[in-house]
Structure 1
Amino acid sequence: MESTQGDTRRIALDAMGGDLGSAEVVSALRLALDEFPDLCPVTILGDEAELGPLLDQAKLSAHPKVTLHHTAEVITMGDEVMTAIKRKRDSSMLKAIELVKEGAARAVVSTGNTKILVSAGTLKLRTLAGIERPALAPVIPREGGHFILIDAGANPEAKSMHLVHNAILGSHYARMELGIEKPRVGLLTIGTEEGKGNSLINDTHEHLKALGDLVHYVGPVEGFQVFFDHVDVIVCDGFTGNICLKSWESLSKFFRNELKAQMLSSPLRRLGGMMARGAFTGLRHRIQPERYGGAPLLGLRGTVLKAHGSANRYALMNALGDASEFIRVDRTSRIEADIDRANKILRPEPVDVSEL
């Protein structure tokens, strides 16, 4: 196993804490190395006694891009945030974040406790200049392509400026991930008419309009517009976004299961299903959450990718590929410049971010 010294273009992979266990994480690492020839080097963190044999079995123990970092503790889904951060400092999640903080890695990939990952990432890595809160930004399929949902759960009690920052972060991410030079940004609400929504939505709407060409804001969007070709970035608070994300995930699973049940309900439908197998396979791959890996926690001084707790090897493989792309395409300076410009437009007087 190689040393991490002198190699900061590295991914810190938290192998503990996921629902499917460390074996699934090691399998994902094997797949990622095969799928992405330019994958950045990976430090996998966890119990050496557990991970060592798994790495041997996957023929990764001597791989030039793989390093094992032993940690003695595991953060569970039931742990309290501050208790875990203070008492489980030798956990795979916190050590992965520490590697980024120390400059020994540039990105973290974890399936662990979301609250603790967001809190620890924010406390240890800090936000980019001018940004008040980080935001989770998953990629979700829609008619004719994909859109970025931001925030999907990092900041449930958002203020208007948080949503403005989300719009800027989401725009930059859409340029990188979706290849859209001028992404359309919409604000999720209950109606597209002026004044339709609560005070948070109305204030944010006015702020986004005031930004001019800094963000390509196309206005409010309603729920029934979300999965059609209306916008490329949907901005919302973390409470609303988390409900949207989990509703989409459950609906996609329901749809796949219901379609399978209907196709198997009679001999005639089975025959029809066999004839349309290619179309059904394409649809399944299009809507399954595993295809989109992890949701990045945007706005931090370092990349943190949160994969679902039940993420399988294919989802984690894609998360590792995304992390590697984040490392190669560093937009930090451009994001900070846009955030600074937005803050000056909306807040002419200097603001102490630490007091917010």
Structure 2
Amino acid sequence: MNYRQTIAIDAMGGDIGPSVMVAGAAKAHGSIDSARYIFFGDQAKIKPELDKFPEIIPHSEIRHTDKHIASEEKPSVAVRNSKDTSMRLAIEAVRDGLADGVVSAGNTGALMAMSKLILKCLPGINRPAIASVMPTIHGKSVMLDLGANLSCDAEVLTQFAVLGAVYARVVQGITKPTVGLLNVGTEDMKGHEELRNAASILSTVEFPGVYYGFIEGDDITKGTVDVIVTDGFTGNIALKTAEGVGKLSKEYLTQAFKSSPLAMLGYFLSRGAIKKMKAKVDPRNYNGGMFLGVNGVCVKSHGGSDADGTANAIMVAANLVQNGFNQRVAAQIEQLMDQESFISVVGV
């Protein structure tokens, strides 16, 4: 059978391991056009899980290894000891052309370090970024970087803008995505020098998006722009803060509905609306941190995610492959680097 895409899955990564990775692939399979899966890990643990889903057995393969990377291991140590681990073998499958993309729920730092080491960066990309889709009032936005690079210069921030804009165009179908730089204010003089230099570049160069300007923290959930660009330090704090606010809101809502019999009645009358609201902000529907900028599709699933969340991460990888994301990024970066306004600021 001719498959349109093959996804390598690190079956041993995450808090749960093979059971959730295999179940996630089975859930994703119905939504992915002609996909094949290669599970890397302990065959004795993977096969019993795969046998529970006969519909994907003909489309699956197990590559055995009894080695894996622990979630608490330091990235530098993990990379040194990574030979024949399930994570490394899955990434190498992409490098060697055996797979089109890789999905892992394992150690984030190790996954990023090995992706850069094995797959390298796309031509013209200095550093890859972790990107994810965020729920907003108006729908969804993509935000990057979420933790891979604690500090970024103007050139790197500009490259992130291109990565995010290409994603919004080819995967989300937005013809001219708006791009904003996350800052402490919207005025031109606000922020540090590299941020202002990035704004200067994006306001003059041609790239796949439309530069909106500086945005503030509350613009993230407002949906002010389609693409939110920031350094990994700020982005990770913003992401974790949003997750915390979501948990706090859920707890407050639960307490409010339990506060009296009348409040409980109100809950039963509004269950349908509440269910729809919860679906819009359910983290499982946004699971799948994309490592944009590496020369191969690599997606990080949350370590504690269930089968639904894992399925979403696998579908994220499949969408990037199906839409030729990396090929389109390479073409856009080449055009960017030829523009005089870009060269004058970054000095390339």
Counterpart code for 1:335: V
Match status 1:229 vs 2:223: yes
Q: Which moved more, 1:302-311 or 1:337-346?
A: 337-346
**Cα 1:341–1:265 shift into 2, 3 Å:** same
| Contact 1:8–1:105, Cα closer than 8 Å, also in 2 | no
Q: Deviations over 1:19-39 (max 9, x none)?
A: 133212222122122x31525
| TM-score of the aligned structures, taking structure 2 as reference length | 0.94
CA distance in 2, matches of 1:290, 1:255: 17
> Secondary structure of the equivalent of 1:12?
strand
> Secondary structure of the equivalent of 2:51?
helix
Counterpart code for 2:48: P
CA distance in 1, matches of 2:346, 2:158: 17
| Contact 1:39–1:324, Cα closer than 8 Å, also in 2 | no
| Contact 1:8–1:104, Cα closer than 8 Å, also in 2 | no
Q: Indicate the residue corresponding to 1:12 in structure 2.
A: 8
| Contact 1:106–1:302, Cα closer than 8 Å, also in 2 | yes
Counterpart code for 1:140: M
> Secondary structure of the equivalent of 2:255?
helix
Counterpart code for 2:142: I
- 1:185: Cα distance to partner? 0.2
Match status 1:57 vs 2:48: no
Q: Which moved more, 1:17-26 or 1:66-75?
A: 17-26
Q: Indicate the residue corresponding to 2:272 in structure 1.
A: 278
Counterpart code for 1:24: V
- 1:88: Cα distance to partner? 2.3
| Contact 1:208–1:215, Cα closer than 8 Å, also in 2 | no
CA distance in 1, matches of 2:208, 2:17: 43
**Cα 1:7–1:278 shift into 2, 3 Å:** closer
Match status 1:296 vs 2:290: yes
Q: What value does the CA root-mean-square deviation take over the aligned residues?
A: 2.0
| Contact 1:252–1:288, Cα closer than 8 Å, also in 2 | no
Q: Deviations over 1:51-93 (max 9, x none)?
A: 1212123336x72211111122111122122322222211111
Q: Indicate the residue corresponding to 1:23 in structure 2.
A: 19
Counterpart code for 2:35: C
| TM-score of the aligned structures, taking structure 1 as reference length | 0.92
Q: Which moved more, 1:309-318 or 1:36-45?
A: 36-45
Q: Indicate the residue corresponding to 1:48 in structure 2.
A: 43
Q: Deviations over 1:193-228 (max 9, x none)?
A: 111111221121112112145531010001122211
Match status 1:75 vs 2:69: yes
Q: Deviations over 1:213-259 (max 9, x none)?
A: 55310100011222113100000001111111111122212222321
CA distance in 2, matches of 1:180, 1:276: 34
- 1:262: Cα distance to partner? 1.4
Match status 1:163 vs 2:175: no
CA distance in 2, matches of 1:119, 1:75: 13
- 1:351: Cα distance to partner? 8.0
- 1:148: Cα distance to partner? 0.5
CA distance in 2, matches of 1:82, 1:215: 36
Number of paired residues?
346
CA distance in 1, matches of 2:347, 2:211: 24
Match status 1:173 vs 2:167: yes
The within-5 A match list for 1:67-146 is 67-146=61-140
**Cα 1:349–1:285 shift into 2, 3 Å:** closer
CA distance in 2, matches of 1:215, 1:276: 40
Equivalent residue in structure 1 for 2:146, among 124, 135, 152: 152
> Secondary structure of the equivalent of 2:35?
coil
CA distance in 1, matches of 2:207, 2:124: 19
The within-5 A match list for 1:24-39 is 24-33=20-29, 35-36=30-31, 38-39=33-34
Q: Which moved more, 1:129-138 or 1:331-340?
A: 331-340
- 1:281: Cα distance to partner? 0.4
CA distance in 2, matches of 1:206, 1:48: 53
Q: Deviations over 1:251-283 (max 9, x none)?
A: 212222321221122111111001000110011
CA distance in 1, matches of 2:87, 2:305: 16
Q: Deviations over 1:130-183 (max 9, x none)?
A: 110111110001011110001111112211111100000000101123221100
Equivalent residue in structure 2 for 1:206, among 200, 204, 209: 200
> Secondary structure of the equivalent of 1:19?
coil
